[in-house]
Structure 1
Amino acid sequence: MTAVPDTHTGRTPGDGPAPPDLGELISALQSHGVRVEAPVERRTGGAGPSDSGMLWLEGRPVTVPTVTDPDAPTPYVLVPEDGGGNGIYRDGRRLAGVSRSRRPRFYDLSTADGVPYEKIALLHLDSLASTVVQACNYWNTADQCTFCGIGVSLDSGATIARKTPEQLAEVSVAARDLDGVVDVTLTTGSSTAPDRGARYVARCGRAVKDASGLPVEIQFEPPRDLGILDEVHRIGGADAVGIHVESFDPQVLARVAPGKFRTGIETYFRTWERAVELWGRGRVSTYVILGMGEDPEVTVEGCRRAIDIGVYPFVVPLRPVAGSLMADQRPPSSEYSSRIYRRVAAHMSLRGMSADDAVAGCARCQACSAIDAVQRTPPLLQIGPRPPDPA
């Protein structure tokens, strides 16, 4: 009798233990990409985990760049196996079991006025995600964030400019019932309003929570008045918030995100401190992107300072987005990313912080980073060597 692979892990009985260092493997795959010999559900264009395949790697959600070209310069390959499973191989050696994601069922539905659900929100493995306002006041200006692709999806017709709370509530119920979604992440482009769009995304979150009961993270830029955070909290549409600085290196921030640079890193820290008071430790997070020329020491120290006040630094490698100003840049090496991961994860462990504290959003999902897998893989380096500057 042929063993049947587990739905999520892709492993079959008798495969043996999981790889001893899954964090290192995830980091390598996200740097080098993987060649696929079977169809993989992918997200192309726009913001989020763009131009990536969505996989369950030994039971963990992972997004990795995927290619089909047999001559692609990656040593990793996803191979279908007997019995219906899949494996990640390198040089003929099986490294991990994989389950491929399928096309979400809710994508085949539309609202009563004819808008496809797929244009309202997307499934990121087990998380529903939507950019509620697909526009940013930085886009197509000198202040445009060079890593961002928020306008790409809209220009391609893959989404609509503004999602209503009612639309998002409807889609979240369908995604929960048809595809097993466990949380919802709602983000928005920055606006020139004093709240930077936070009130609207919070109202959308409240509609989703009321309809689906799912935990929600909302993401927005620091509002001009910290009192707006209290308003957003009272709306009750968020279990967690993401306020993303992107880089702690001010020289890098000035180059890749001039608008955020003018907001100021200290403004982010003040905003995070108030947000932690409202939502709690570990329920406030920030993206920290590696591979943009940042100083590793400045990056690690910024992450440590964020952790100390209760903010989860969601460290990710640069994922070049097609159509963005950084489309042609390469991700950082896995060695570089792993050294940063180990040092930041060590400090999180020291301070009693982990992804378990997050109830929704990117820090809960973890698919675009290896930091949680690294943190859960002993032994952890408390103080690692200085990483080399990324190439």
Structure 2
Amino acid sequence: MQWEDLKALLLETGSARLSGEAADEFIAKSTAGPGAGGKGSVFFAMGGHRVKLAINQTSRVEIIHRGDGVADLYLGDRQISGRLLRPGLHCPDQAFITVTERCIFSCRYCSVPRLSGKRKTIEEIMDLVESVRHRVSAISLTSGVYDSIEEEENYICEVIDHLKFFGLPLGVSIYPTDQTPDKLHALGVAEVKFNLEAATPDLFEAVCPGLDYELLWRILDRSVELFGKGRVFSNVIVGLGETDEEMEACIDRLTSHGVIPVLRPLNPVAGYAGQSRPSAERLKKLFAKHSRALSRNGLDTSSALTMCTVCGGCDLVPGRDE
């Protein structure tokens, strides 16, 4: 079985039972997005490939940890030998930090508004990066919205100013104002990710009430002007109710604008609890369309330095999972 096929099947399931030797040092916790507040996840790697699976003791996938990161994954009658990756912060090789673990908005796919999260202080963030700086190659920031979009942006800029001390590539994904790309570029941020989340404006309006779809497109275009093609990313969730044709149109529009899409399979929590994750077949079909669109527009995921595209645990990533 090719890695692409295996990963699509694993992303369709999205989780694994974890057994065997103690594996605490290999468990990553999420404080942002749909995975926030869960029991944690593990990154299973085979060769140069990886996949992130939430820990769920009722999953049809099992990972047996043999010790020291050596592990076997079982899917049906298949046994795949590999290893567990030790996360830096949240994911391997990066200090990926959620600054504010709460949000004033109520996007239907997201668990964060249901949690009473806190905001990390600058001292806490600096200490976190210091604790892993010997084994990470980048710093990535994401954040909810504590009080207002404008106030959150100002705080993130303060955080970035301090993090420049480490001299590592810095990626940032926050909800933007009109000034966000210019402010982040002036601070020396390497890459940005502003998330459309939904493939169509109608879906966005239903899923993310109170937020502005067309603003995000303007911000993405301005970001490409400042950071360059291939340094700007946007999450689009697969499984919110869009058709394949609508998702393909969104992929084509993003790539034609110089933006690399991140196609994120739906995690059925919050307002989508009880729904199914997208099928392996659908993920592979969209993966092929995604690959062609990137190639057609001269975009290469292998040049990514930060955030989700360089990690690749949660998604099928053209150029990395082929």
TM range (shorter): 0.7 to 0.9
1:172 aligns to what?
129
1:9 aligns to what?
none
1:199 to 2:154 alignment: yes
Equivalent of 1:333, from 261, 279, 301?
Answer: 279
- Secondary structure, in 3 states, of the residue corresponding to 2:210? helix
1:363 aligns to what?
309
CA shift, 1:274, in A, is 0.6
1:272 to 2:220 alignment: yes
Check whether the contact 1:43–1:49 (CA below 8 A) recurs between aligned residues.
Answer: no
**Residue ranges of structure 2 left out of the alignment (5+ in a row):** none
Identity across aligned pairs (percent)? Answer: 25
Q: Residue 35 and residue 164 in structure 1: after superposition, are their counterparts in 2 closer, same or farther (change >3 A)?
A: closer
Check whether the contact 2:18–2:55 (CA below 8 A) recurs between aligned residues.
Answer: yes
2:194 aligns to what?
243
Structure 2 CA distance, aligned partners of 1:345 and 1:43?
29
1:77 aligns to what?
62
Greater C-alpha radius of gyration = 1
Alignment map for 1:34-53 (pairs within 5 Å): 34-38=16-20, 39-40=22-23, 41-43=26-28, 46-48=31-33, 50=35, 51=38, 52-53=41-42
Equivalent of 1:30, from 11, 20, 40?
Answer: 11
CA shift, 1:347, in A, is 1.0
1:187 aligns to what?
142
Alignment map for 1:19-168 (pairs within 5 Å): 21-32=2-13, 33-38=15-20, 39-40=22-23, 41-43=26-28, 46-48=31-33, 50=35, 51=38, 52-69=41-58, 72=59, 74=60, 76-80=61-65, 85-94=70-79, 96-102=80-86, 122-138=89-105, 144-152=106-114, 155=116, 161-168=118-125
- Secondary structure, in 3 states, of the residue corresponding to 1:310? coil
Q: AA paired with 2:98?
A: T
Equivalent of 1:307, from 255, 273, 277?
Answer: 255
Structure 2 CA distance, aligned partners of 1:103 and 1:298?
35
Structure 1 CA distance, aligned partners of 2:87 and 2:259?
34
Q: AA paired with 1:204?
A: V
- Secondary structure, in 3 states, of the residue corresponding to 1:254? helix
Structure 2 CA distance, aligned partners of 1:194 and 1:78?
40
CA shift, 1:45, in A, is 6.0
CA shift, 1:311, in A, is 0.7
Q: Residue 150 and residue 80 in structure 1: after superposition, are their counterparts in 2 closer, same or farther (change >3 A)?
A: closer
Q: AA paired with 2:73?
A: I
- Secondary structure, in 3 states, of the residue corresponding to 1:371? coil
> TM-score scaled to structure 1, two decimals?
0.72
Check whether the contact 1:187–1:218 (CA below 8 A) recurs between aligned residues.
Answer: yes
- Secondary structure, in 3 states, of the residue corresponding to 2:217? helix
Q: Residue 125 and residue 103 in structure 1: after superposition, are their counterparts in 2 closer, same or farther (change >3 A)?
A: closer
Q: AA paired with 2:169?
A: P
> TM-score scaled to structure 2, two decimals?
0.86
CA shift, 1:191, in A, is 6.1
Q: AA paired with 2:8?
A: S
Check whether the contact 1:290–1:332 (CA below 8 A) recurs between aligned residues.
Answer: yes
CA shift, 1:284, in A, is 0.9
Q: Residue 273 and residue 191 in structure 1: after superposition, are their counterparts in 2 closer, same or farther (change >3 A)?
A: farther
1:254 aligns to what?
205
Query: Once the two structures are superposed, what CA deviation does each residue of 1:298-324 show, in whole Å capped at 9, x if it has no partner?
Result: 111111111111111011101234xx3
| Aligned residue pairs, count | 314
CA shift, 1:57, in A, is 3.2
Higher relative strand content: 2
Check whether the contact 1:36–1:78 (CA below 8 A) recurs between aligned residues.
Answer: yes
Q: AA paired with 2:12?
A: S
Q: Residue 101 and residue 248 in structure 1: after superposition, are their counterparts in 2 closer, same or farther (change >3 A)?
A: same
Structure 2 CA distance, aligned partners of 1:58 and 1:80?
17
Structure 1 CA distance, aligned partners of 2:91 and 2:237?
19
CA shift, 1:228, in A, is 4.3
Task: Output the aligned Cα RMSD.
Answer: 2.7
- Secondary structure, in 3 states, of the residue corresponding to 1:259? coil
Equivalent of 2:318, from 354, 368, 372?
Answer: 372
Q: Residue 83 and residue 100 in structure 1: after superposition, are their counterparts in 2 closer, same or farther (change >3 A)?
A: closer
